[in-house]
Each structure stands twice: as C-alpha cells, then as structure tokens.
Chain A
Amino acid sequence: MKLSNEKDLRFAPMKVENEIVLMPDCWKVDYWASMGELSRFFMEVKENGRLMGTKCPECSSIYFWPRSWCHECYVDCEWVEMSGKGKLTVFGKVEISLSDLQKEVPYIQGGVHLEGARYAVAVCIRANYEDLYVGMPVKVEFLPPEERTGRIRDFYFVPDV
C-alpha cells in the first residue's frame, strides 16, 4: 500500500510573510474509480476506437454520453454504436488553462451534437480555429491504439467538410 509521498508539501516547513504564517499543504487523492455500468463505453474507445451511446427501449431516446437508464421511462437502456458524425454547437480556444492541460495550450474545446443523440456533449476539437463555425459538420477521430489510455481525450473531433 502506497503511503504519503514525503515530498508532498504537506510535510514541508511553514514560511512567514509580513508576519503571516503560510502553511504548506497538499490535497492529493489517488483513485481507482469504477466506471461501473458505464465500463463498456471506455473499453470500446480504448480497444476498438468506437463511440457507444445508449438507447431507451421505450421512448427510443439515444443518450451520448451514455446513460444506463432512461430518466424519462425509468427503464434500462441498451448499447448502440454512434456514427461519430455530428455538428458543432459551440467552440472556444483555450490559451490559459487552469488545469493540467496548461502544457497543451492553445487548444480548442467545443460542443458537438452527434447524429441521433438527444443532447450535445463537450469534446476536444482539432482544427484551424479560424475555419470553425456553429453548425459545422464534424467527425470523430481516435488517437492511435498504442497512445490511448481509455480516457475521453483518446478521441477528438475534426471538420467533416
């Protein structure tokens, strides 16, 4: 079992600035978070380069990101493969990121409404920013298999025109 890293700021000495004590601390939490009933989505992305949604057997709504149950009908949904094609609903270029993606700036995030899906989702976009427009047809692309980690950033959307 891995114990706290001695290098954590949590174990560093305090410092004083203008008679104010600044106490170093670190909130670092590791997880093996079960993706549970959503596991197939991540396996399909990583192993097969496919985007899976779900479909309600009663009202036929298609959910992407997948939902394991339909919040309207309260019944379990079935897996369906998405075409990977859709339309851009919104987009923006990130130049300063307050996240661990800072090293990747500038990058583009956007909303994509996939064909057949009930709702749009937020995804990575790779394109010339100047080329983009709302309603632009886009399609999914995946990183090469050896680069995939099973995360959402294994795929991104590019213009499909």
Chain B
Amino acid sequence: MKKVAVVGVGNTSFKARHLDKTFPRLAYESVKAAMEDAQATRDDIESVVYSIYNDFFEHSGMPDYHIHYLLGLARKPSIRVTNGGATGGCAIKAAFAEVASGLHDVVMVVGVEKALDVANVVEMVKTIMYAADPFFEAHLGATPAGSYNGAILWHMEKYGTTEEDMARVVVKNKGNALNNPDAHSPMKITIDEVMKSPYVIRPLKILDHCLSSEGAATIILASEEAAKKFKKEPVWITGIGASTESARQAERDDTGISLLPAVRASAESAYKMAGISEPAKAIDVAEIYDSFSGVEIILYEELGLCDWGKGAQFLKDGGPYMEGETPVNPSGGLIGGEHAIGATGVYQVAEIVRQIRGEAGARQVKGAHCGISQSMGGARGAYSVTIVCEG
C-alpha cells in the first residue's frame, strides 16, 4: 500500500444559510481554496470523491453530478460517498484507497451541504430521519437526538455524568469557536445559560445540540511521489478506520462497558493501522463528532483519550481544553464550529492538517504532531476515524 499525503486543504465559512450561494458554488469555493493551498491546478486532479450526505437537502438525486463538470473536470472520474454523519470520513477513506492502491496519484475530496434549502427545520429533520428503517421504525417519530440519547442516559446512570458536565462541553466548544473565523456559532456562554435552554429530549437541551450549517470543505490527497510537486510539506494519513452499527436503534447494545462500540471498533482499526498503542499519549489534537454534548464525553472514552467511565472527570480536569493534555474540537466542533454534514468529516481533517502545519492561528494547539478525526451518523449507523500525522 502506498503512503497517502494531504497536500491541500480549503473550506468556505460556515453558517446557517449561504443564501447567496448554490451548493455547486460552495463546493467550488472550497476547491479553489484547496488548490491555492497546494498550488495545484485542476490538471493535477486525477479523480474526485464527493462527500454529500442527503439528496433532499440539495434537492437533487445526484448532487455530485451537478458540481463535477462545473469544476471543469468532465471526463475525469468521480464518485459520491454518502454515509450519514460519517459521510466525510468515509469519502476520505474511498479517496485514500484510490491513492494507496496506486489507481490514482492525486485525488480530491469535496464535501458540501446546504441543508436549509428545505423549507423549514421540521421538514429538514424529517429527511434525516428517512435514514430510519423504512419497514418498521420510520413511523415511530424517531429523531436524531433520540438516536444518541440512549447511550447518554446509560452514561449518566452508570458513571454519574450530569447535565452540568454536558453543559461544560457546550461552553468549551462554543468558546473554542471564538478563535475560528470560519465558525458558525462562536459564543461566550455560561453553564447556567446552557442549563436554562429548553429541553428537546431529556436530558438534551437545545444548546446541547450540534448546529445545522451550510458550507463546504475540500482536501487534496497525493501519493508520496506526487506530493513532491506541491508547495506545502505533506501531512500523512496514517490510519483509517470505519465501522457500522445496526440501523435499528432498538437492536443496539448500548449497555456494555463501551456505550458506542462501533466508535471503539473504528478507532481500534485506525490506531492499529497507524501503529498507535497508547492513544492518550500519541494523539495531540482531536476533531470529533459532538453531535450532542453528552456524546463528546462518551467519545473521550471510546477513543481512548481517558479511561472507561472517566469522561466527565477528564473534562472537569481540563484534559480536552485548549491547554489540556488532548485539546478536543479546537475548531468549535459540531456545536460551535460547523455541521454541514457532508463537509464535516472533510473539514475535521482539514483542521487537523492545519494544526500539524502550525497554521491554525488563534486555535493552534502547541506541539501538534498527530491528530484524530472521528465522525458518525445515519441515525448512528455509520462510523469513521482518520488519523493524520506529520512526516
């Protein structure tokens, strides 16, 4: 297997609505930024993997198809990956495989989403929940919050994690976003304010929820040989892991020591590939899937950043804060930074690359040599982990 480098990264700003831009335009702007970052031209691009989650959002059954030729890439190969919230990570996996196999030397991953062309949030979420089992569960009134709530409730029950602990994640991530000029929801907020926001599904309140953003992110991958012709020092993808879970929520085992076992599985395979045996020591920075504040606390454990059951303590001890042992979501994550679903996993890796290059500005983590990106979705059916390290 060939080594695979990231040689260019770019993204748009993220916000609730980009009323002045269509989804192809958002994609183009992130592509142009990534090409400028790498000093690449479209002639350098051999193949594209599009990372676009939901046909209903883009009101197109094949949204990728309506971007590719507009990028001037007609007759070059392209595919689209869609895999719920794990769309970005899995698109990177597909592009990684194209380069690692020697099929192509330079492959671009373009993530974009424009969710609120759907007329209202109710309709938009309805389309997300079309991921639910269409035979039995689709009409149960399932919600995205509901798909994570079981694991959060079990964590509270088993380990005494509190709503205040979860509110700390919100305060941290919205605060981190203040250092990210592209962030959707930078905010100086208190635990008390989070606690006073209305419940959606207990214990989750409105402010515990991730954002719904519009925007795009692009990364350019290259083989070791091809990477030499681009401007920036290559940063390497050293581990790729993916996993899946039963699409039926009631079939999942959320009650073992691992509350999100498919996260654990995807992380273990990525760590193994990267030769990482002690993630808490090896990982300097993490951009992970805080779909809900309580989920981030569980993820500290599933990703091995702290011991089982110690997620809330790790948070209270300062571990995932900017000056802590392993800063988590310096970009602001999905709660403060962005969640333009198809773009999210791609943006996470772009952010880790910036951290390793020392280009992350006010959100720079000191001494970032190796980072992890983690995403999941499809009402918790699909999972992805990507490890990115310096040479």
Contacts and interface: CB of A to CB of B under 8 A. Distances in A.
B357 interface: no
A68 interface: yes
B99 to A, nearest CB: 24
Interface in A44-83: 67-69, 71-72, 74
B70 A71 contact: yes
B16 to A, nearest CB: 12
A4 B21 CA distance: 28
B57 to A, nearest CB: 10
A34 interface: yes
A12 to B, nearest CB: 11
| Interface SS, B side | helix
B25 A36 contact: yes
Interface stretch (A25-33, A108-116, A129-137, A143-151): A25-33
Q: How large is the interface on A (under 10, 10 to 19, 20 to 34, 35 or more residues)?
A: 20 to 34
Given A36-B20, A36-B21, A29 B127 contact: yes
Given A29-B56, A67-B70, A34 B123 contact: no
Contacts of B42: 74
Given A1-B120, A29-B123, A72-B72, A36 B56 contact: no
Given A67-B70, A71-B70, A72-B72, A29 B118 contact: yes
Nearest to B41: A74
A103 interface: no
B199 interface: no
Nearest to B23: A36
Interface in A88-140: none
Contact of B72 (A3, A31, A32, A71): A71
A126 to B, nearest CB: 28
A152 interface: no
Contacts of B118: 29-31
Contacts of A36: 18-22, 25
20 contacts: A3-B122, A29-B59, A29-B123, A30-B118, A31-B117, A31-B118, A31-B119, A32-B117, A33-B59, A33-B117, A34-B20, A36-B18, A36-B21, A36-B22, A36-B25, A37-B21, A37-B22, A37-B25, A38-B22, A69-B70
Interface of A: 1-4, 10, 27, 29-39, 67-69, 71-72, 74
Given A36-B22, A36-B25, 19 more contacts: A2-B120, A3-B122, A4-B126, A29-B56, A29-B118, A29-B119, A29-B126, A30-B119, A31-B119, A32-B119, A36-B19, A36-B21, A37-B21, A37-B22, A37-B25, A38-B22, A69-B25, A69-B70, A71-B69
